[in-house]
Structure 1
C-alpha cells in the first residue's frame, strides 16, 4: 500500500508498553518527523515508558494506554482518538485501535515475514517501508534535557570521576534473563582491581536489593542508583560512564539509544531480535541447542546463563578498552 503524503497532517503511532520495547520503536518517530516535518505526531504508549515521548520535541501529545484500565476508560480513549481525525496510524502493537478510530490510512496488521530473525528496530521500521516512507538513517530518539544532566551530576557526586566510571545493570524484567549475581560481583571486583574503575549500578527500584549485594562488597568504589532515576535521568547518568555491562534489559536498550558501548549478557532471549549491534557492542551468550528458547520457564536449570563466566565478560571489557 502507498499513501498520498500530501494528505498527511496528523499521525498517530501506537507504541508498546515495556521500556526496552518502546525504546526500539523510537526510530519510527525519527523517520516520521523527517518525512513529515511540521506535521503533528501523537503517540500511544504504556505507563512505564511515557517519559520517553513526553520529553521528545518530535511528539505533540503522549497518550497513556493502560491495558488494565476499566472498559469505560478505553471507550473514552477511542472517542478521543476518533475526534482527532488522524490521517495516518502506525500500529506497532497490532491492535484493534486503528479499526475503531477510522483513520485515512493505517499500516497493515500482517506480520513481518522476517520477524523471527529481524532486529526489532528494523521490524518496526518495515511498517513504514510498506507504505513508502523512507527509513534510511533512522536513529533512536532519546532527548536528555539540562535538568536531567544536573540531577545526574548530583547523584554521581560521591564517586564523580568522569574518566573512571563504568556502569552495571544486574537486573532484568524476569529472573530467567538475569545472570548470576556472583558473576556480577566478581566482574565488579576485577573492574576495580584491574582497570581502576568505579562502578555505577543502575536499574529500577525492584533491582535495588540485588544491586546492594554488589555495593556491600565494595562500598567505596560502587554507587547503587537503582530506583533513584527516571528513564531519561538514567540516560543522563549512563552518559557519564565508559560502558554498560547488562542483562537483556531496559538499561541495555537505553545505552544503545544514547550510543554508549554495551556488553550484553544473553540467555533465553533472542540476541538477533533484541541485542545491540554497533561496532563497540559485544553480546555474550552460549550457543546451546536449546538457546534462544524465549521461554518463560527453563527446563534445563538456566544452563545458557550459568555457563557464562566472569572471564567471558572481562575479555570483552579488555577488548573494548583497547579499542577506545
Structure 2
C-alpha cells in the first residue's frame, strides 16, 4: 500500500482550497493512505474527511516533525504550500516533492501593471501544475456532528442572514460605516461570526441594532460557524475563510465582498454559485494578492464606495 503526504501548513481558506487535490489523489490512488501535514491549530479542518487517513500537526519544531514523518515511509510527497518551511521539511524527509506553481510573476504583474495573465481559478492551476485533473466536485468541508448548532439555543429564528464580518487583512473588510449601512438595510435577523479581533466590532453593531443583530464573534468554533452558515438563508462574507467554507457547503445564496483583492486572482468560491460585490471602476485594484492592513493610497475606496444594493434587494426578497 502506498503512502502519500500532502503538505499545507496554513491558513484556513488556503487549506480548504487544497481539499479537491486530496480528493483527486484518493481517486487516482484508491488503495493509498493519504496523510496531511499542517499546523496543529488547523488539524481540525480535516476532521471527518473520508479521503484523509491521518493528519500530522506541526507544533513549531521542524526537526521533530520531520523525524515523525520519516517513520511513516511516504512514497509520494505533494508540497501544496511551497514556502521555505515546506522546502526544509521535504529536504529533511529526503523526498523530491511534486509542487504547486504559485505563478508569482503573473500575480506581481497583475498587482503592479493590472495585466492579468493568471490561468483561471487557483484550484485548477494547482491541480494542473501537479499533473492532476479536476473532478468538478468543488471544495470539501465536513461539519462534525458535535458541532451542529441548534438555532433555538441561540434564539435564532429563520429566515436569518449570516454575516462573517472579518478577514485576515483589513483592506479586505468593509468599513464600519458600510457595515452599518448594510445591516440597516436587511430586514431579517443578522447573525455575526468572526474571531477575537472581530468581537469588538460585533459588539458595537449589536449595540446599535439590539433587536436585529446577534453577535457570536469569538463564541463559535469554525465548524459551529459553518453549521450556522449551512442553516442561514443568506451568507455574506469577505474574501475570507468563511467564504470558502460556505462555498464548500454549496450555499445557494452566497454574497462575497471584495476590496483590495480581486476575483481575477483566482480565489473566488470554487465550483458553486455566488454573487460578487466589488467596485470595478477603480484602477488601483488589486493592490495586493492577499490583502494588507492599510490602503496604500489612503482612501480605501474599494470598500468605502461599494454598491450594496444587490445584497439589500436579495435580503428584501427572502
Alignment TM class, shorter chain as reference: 0.7 to 0.9
1:316 positional shift: 3.7
Report the counterpart of residue 214 of structure 1 in structure 2. 205
1:37 positional shift: 2.1
> 1:153-232 residue pairs with structure 2 within 5 A?
153=150, 156-162=152-158, 164-192=159-187, 197-232=188-223
- Of 294-303 and 112-121, deviating more is 112-121
Q: Is the CA contact (8 Å cut-off) linking 1:247 and 1:266 kept in structure 2?
A: yes
C-alpha distance in 2, partners of 1:76/1:250? 29
Residue 238 of structure 2 corresponds to residue 247 of structure 1? yes
1:115 positional shift: 6.1
- The alpha-carbon distance between structure 1 residues 234 and 306, as it changes in their structure 2 partners (threshold 3 A), is same
Q: Is the CA contact (8 Å cut-off) linking 1:15 and 1:22 kept in structure 2?
A: yes
Report the counterpart of residue 4 of structure 1 in structure 2. none
Report the counterpart of residue 275 of structure 1 in structure 2. 268
Q: Is the CA contact (8 Å cut-off) linking 1:89 and 1:107 kept in structure 2?
A: yes
C-alpha distance in 2, partners of 1:231/1:57? 19
Instruction: Give the 3-state SS of the residue equivalent to 1:268 in structure 2.
Output: coil
Instruction: Give the 3-state SS of the residue equivalent to 1:189 in structure 2.
Output: helix
- The alpha-carbon distance between structure 1 residues 143 and 321, as it changes in their structure 2 partners (threshold 3 A), is farther
Report the counterpart of residue 32 of structure 1 in structure 2. 25
Structure 2, unmatched stretches of 5+, are 108-117
Residue 14 of structure 2 corresponds to residue 17 of structure 1? no
C-alpha distance in 2, partners of 1:158/1:232? 16
TM-score (norm: length of structure 1): 0.83
Q: Is the CA contact (8 Å cut-off) linking 1:90 and 1:127 kept in structure 2?
A: no
Count residues in correspondence.
Answer: 296
Report the counterpart of residue 62 of structure 2 in structure 1. 74
- The alpha-carbon distance between structure 1 residues 218 and 157, as it changes in their structure 2 partners (threshold 3 A), is farther
Report the counterpart of residue 88 of structure 1 in structure 2. 76
Report the counterpart of residue 314 of structure 1 in structure 2. 309
Instruction: Give the 3-state SS of the residue equivalent to 1:238 in structure 2.
Output: helix
1:264 positional shift: 1.2
Residue 99 of structure 2 corresponds to residue 102 of structure 1? no
1:112 positional shift: 4.7
C-alpha distance in 2, partners of 1:209/1:38? 49
- The alpha-carbon distance between structure 1 residues 281 and 290, as it changes in their structure 2 partners (threshold 3 A), is same
Q: Is the CA contact (8 Å cut-off) linking 1:30 and 1:138 kept in structure 2?
A: no
- The alpha-carbon distance between structure 1 residues 115 and 50, as it changes in their structure 2 partners (threshold 3 A), is farther
Q: Is the CA contact (8 Å cut-off) linking 1:170 and 1:203 kept in structure 2?
A: yes
Instruction: Give the 3-state SS of the residue equivalent to 2:237 in structure 1.
Output: strand
1:298 positional shift: 2.4
Structure 1, unmatched stretches of 5+, are 1-7
RMSD over aligned Cα atoms = 2.4
C-alpha distance in 1, partners of 2:57/2:240? 22
- The alpha-carbon distance between structure 1 residues 177 and 46, as it changes in their structure 2 partners (threshold 3 A), is same
C-alpha distance in 2, partners of 1:206/1:24? 24
